[in-house]
């Protein structure tokens, strides 16, 4: 017990400065003003975010100076900043992973079945087979073709047209949730004498300068090529008019800028393919079972020429890059905590030299070397514990601020329109445990140095 009391005595500032006291009061007032501006109705203002963040950092700094010496405060602050930075970065990288996953699943199915030939006409048999597998909720055929889309003179864009079953699309895809104008159901209602309906992304609509109800023209660039011999057949590319019946916005720029949906029968008639599709897609009751369902379906189909992919495999490069980025950032930020630990070692070592006389007196009175070592372990663990607690709290506060503020991103660069934040409790606990382990290791050398100090050395010049 006495080790904890002495350890706190070594850490405690003792004489308090009025400058620090009034600095703490001022920083708390600034934090309160920033919080009021940040929590005001409507979108938080940048000034409110800046004032709240600055006030919180200042309050932590003055609060630490109120309790500890400047040297100890620097050691604690290093741990605070390292833990806070790691908490925020892990939340951001987890947010990117979750955001990309939600965007991908918003306009794509969980599992796809495709045939490596161009005669996928028995898709109904595949649908029946897939619907009998566990976790499969709904299935639909689809067609996918790269085409040009035009509106008026000189307004041309390249996009991807996806033919779907308008009566089952809402069961397989989350597209209805992303509609900003019109509805998915409009694909099933073609008005006699008018072009068939089409749904496109908001960014593509902006590029075409088109709005709901406008007519656009699809151009098939492969119409003049025999896909079996890859020779020109002399036929000019086909064109067909479609009427915009809906506009969606998924927040994923790649889809919003290129993707269009039409009735699969319309695209089959347009391309003169007959009752042939590119593949069958399905929705699952548990998206985490997508890989298992894909493997089960692949077994039933017997492999080649069939190809079965789950949503993660379909976007493997994207999610692999995100995982590698997260690992790299985590390693680099762990170095900040390790650097803070070296700072802690220096602070504790200086404290050992400063308390040499007291250590000698304690040992001469019967104190054990183990007891002396535990005193400095208490000091180090207190620095690590306070730093970790405040760092996690500051990191969570910054995550909350950034999440509510909705920091905008350029979707052309980052593919999404705002910085995503997702706090994973397991990752926060891991950061806290790792920080405390590093703090515990950092106390070993100073504790050993104090324990090995001979009483005569400390009292030689007294």
Give 307-326 pLDDT, tens digit per residue: 888 888 877 777 787 788 78
Label residue 175 by pLDDT band (50, 70, 90).
confident
Question: Is 232 a residue whose pLDDT tops 70?
Answer: no
Query: According to the per-residue pLDDT averaged within each range, which of 44-48, 63-67, 289-293 is highest?
Result: 289-293
Phi, psi of 221 (to 5 degrees): -75, -15
The single residue listed with the structure tokens 């405390």 is 436
Predicted confidence at residue 226, as pLDDT, reads: 53
Q: How far is CA 139 from CA 120, 127, 267, 446, in A?
A: 16, 6, 19, 65
Number of neighbours of residue 234 by Cβ within 10 angstroms = 7
Q: How far is CA 345 from CA 65, 198, 255, 376, 444, in A?
A: 19, 66, 52, 10, 9
Predicted confidence (pLDDT) per residue in 105-160, tens digit: 777 788 999 888 777 888 898 899 988 899 999 999 999 888 889 987 778 888 89
Residue 328 and residue 220: Cα distance in Å, rounded? 44
Give the start-to-end residue ranges of the domains of the chain: 2-103+328-450, 117-303
Q: What is the DSSP letter of 134?
A: T
Residue 99 and residue 420: Cα distance in Å, rounded? 7
Asked if residue 304 lies in contact with residue 105, where contact means CB atoms within 8 angstroms, the answer is no
Query: What percentage of residues in the chain have a pLDDT greater than 70?
Result: 89
Asked if residue 131 lies in contact with residue 203, where contact means CB atoms within 8 angstroms, the answer is no
Select from 126, 157, 131 the least CA-distant residue to 142: 126
Mean pLDDT score of the chain, rounded to an integer?
A: 82
- Which are the contacts of 313, defined by CB distance < 8 A and separation ≥ 6? 291, 294
Q: What is the DSSP letter of 240?
A: E
Label residue 234 by pLDDT band (50, 70, 90).
low
Question: Is 279 a residue whose pLDDT tops 60?
Answer: yes
Alpha helices in 355-459 (DSSP H): 356-364, 369-405, 411-414, 425-442, 444-451, 455-459
Label residue 246 by pLDDT band (50, 70, 90).
very high
Asked if residue 24 lies in contact with residue 66, where contact means CB atoms within 8 angstroms, the answer is yes
Residue 443 and residue 436: Cα distance in Å, rounded? 11
Predicted confidence (pLDDT) per residue in 11-56, tens digit: 666 666 788 888 888 988 888 888 888 777 777 777 877 888 888 8
Label residue 89 by pLDDT band (50, 70, 90).
confident
Q: What is the DSSP letter of 410?
A: -
Asked if residue 295 lies in contact with residue 307, where contact means CB atoms within 8 angstroms, the answer is no
Residue 95 and residue 162: Cα distance in Å, rounded? 28
Predicted confidence at residue 196, as pLDDT, reads: 92
The single residue listed with the structure tokens 């999610």 is 319
Q: Which helix (H) or strand (E) holds 279?
A: strand 279-284
Select from 135, 200, 190 the least CA-distant residue to 167: 190
Predicted confidence at residue 204, as pLDDT, reads: 92
Query: Which tokens sit at 223?
Result: 């119409």
Label residue 222 by pLDDT band (50, 70, 90).
low
Predicted confidence at residue 262, as pLDDT, reads: 93
Asked if residue 38 lies in contact with residue 73, where contact means CB atoms within 8 angstroms, the answer is no
Asked if residue 247 lies in contact with residue 179, where contact means CB atoms within 8 angstroms, the answer is yes
Select from 276, 282, 246, 248 the least CA-distant residue to 264: 276
Alpha helices in 273-368 (DSSP H): 290-301, 311-314, 316-354, 356-364
Select from 138, 136, 205 the least CA-distant residue to 165: 138
Question: Is 461 a residue whose pLDDT tops 60?
Answer: no
Label residue 225 by pLDDT band (50, 70, 90).
low
Predicted confidence at residue 447, as pLDDT, reads: 80
Number of neighbours of residue 17 by Cβ within 10 angstroms = 11
Q: How many residues does this entry show for the chain?
A: 462
Say which range, 125-139, 210-224, 247-261, has the weakest mean pLDDT: 210-224
Asked if residue 79 lies in contact with residue 337, where contact means CB atoms within 8 angstroms, the answer is yes
Beta strand residue intervals within 89-178, DSSP E: 111-115, 136-150, 156-164
Predicted confidence at residue 162, as pLDDT, reads: 92
Residue 175 and residue 13: Cα distance in Å, rounded? 61
Question: Is 261 a residue whose pLDDT tops 90?
Answer: yes
Predicted confidence (pLDDT) per residue in 386-422, tens digit: 889 999 998 998 888 888 877 777 776 666 777 888 8
Preceding omega of 305 cis (within 30 degrees of 0) = yes
Burial (0-12, 13-18, 19+ Cβ within 10 Å), 274:
exposed
Between vectors from CA 284 to CA 280 and to CA 288, what angle results, nearest 5°? Answer: 120
């Amino acid at each position: 017990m006495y080790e904890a009391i002495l350890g706190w005595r070594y850490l405690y500032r003792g004489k308090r400065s009025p400058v620090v006291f009034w600095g703490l009061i001022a920083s708390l007032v600034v934090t309160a003003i920033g919080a009021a501006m940040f929590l005001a109705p409507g979108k938080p203002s940048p000034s409110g975010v800046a004032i709240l963040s600055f006030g919180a950092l200042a309050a932590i700094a003055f609060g630490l100076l109120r309790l500890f010496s400047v040297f100890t405060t620097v050691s604690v602050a290093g741990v605070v900043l390292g833990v806070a930075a790691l908490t925020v970065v892990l939340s951001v990288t987890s947010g990117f992973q979750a955001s990309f996953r939600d965007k991908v699943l918003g306009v794509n199915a969980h599992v796809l079945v495709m045939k490596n030939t161009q005669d996928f006409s028995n898709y109904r048999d595949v649908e029946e087979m897939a619907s009998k597998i566990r976790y499969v909720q709904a299935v639909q055929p689809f067609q996918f073709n790269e085409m040009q889309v035009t509106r008026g003179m000189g307004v041309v864009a390249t996009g991807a047209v996806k033919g779907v079953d308008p009566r089952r699309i809402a069961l397989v895809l989350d597209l209805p949730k992303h509609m900003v104008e019109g509805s998915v159901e409009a694909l099933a209602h073609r008005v006699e004498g008018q072009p068939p309906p089409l749904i496109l992304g908001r960014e593509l609509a902006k590029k075409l300068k088109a709005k709901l109800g406008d007519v656009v023209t699809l151009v098939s660039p492969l119409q003049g090529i025999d896909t079996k011999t890859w020779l020109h057949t002399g036929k000019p590319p086909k064109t067909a008019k479609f009427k915009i019946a809906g506009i969606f916005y998924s927040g994923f720029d790649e889809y919003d800028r290129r993707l269009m949906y039409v009735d699969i029968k319309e695209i089959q008639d347009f391309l003169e393919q007959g009752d042939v599709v590119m593949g069958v897609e399905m929705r699952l009751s548990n998206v985490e079972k997508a890989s298992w369902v894909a493997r089960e379906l692949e077994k039933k189909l017997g492999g080649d020429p069939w190809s079965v992919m789950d949503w993660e495999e379909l976007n493997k490069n994207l999610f692999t890059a995100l995982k590698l980025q997260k690992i790299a950032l985590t390693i680099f930020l762990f170095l900040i905590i390790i650097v803070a630990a070296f700072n802690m070692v220096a602070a504790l070592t200086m404290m050992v030299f400063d308390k040499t006389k007291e250590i000698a007196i304690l040992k001469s009175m019967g104190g054990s070397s183990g007891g002396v070592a535990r005193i400095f372990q208490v000091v180090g663990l207190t620095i690590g514990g306070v730093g970790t607690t405040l760092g996690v709290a500051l990191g969570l506060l910054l995550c909350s601020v950034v999440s509510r503020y909705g920091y905008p991103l350029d979707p052309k660069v980052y593919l999404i329109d705002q910085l995503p934040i997702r706090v994973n409790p397991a990752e926060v606990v891991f950061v806290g445990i790792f920080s405390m382990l590093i703090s515990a290791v950092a106390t070993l050398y100073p504790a050993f140095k104090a324990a090995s100090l001979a009483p005569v050395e400390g009292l030689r010049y007294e």
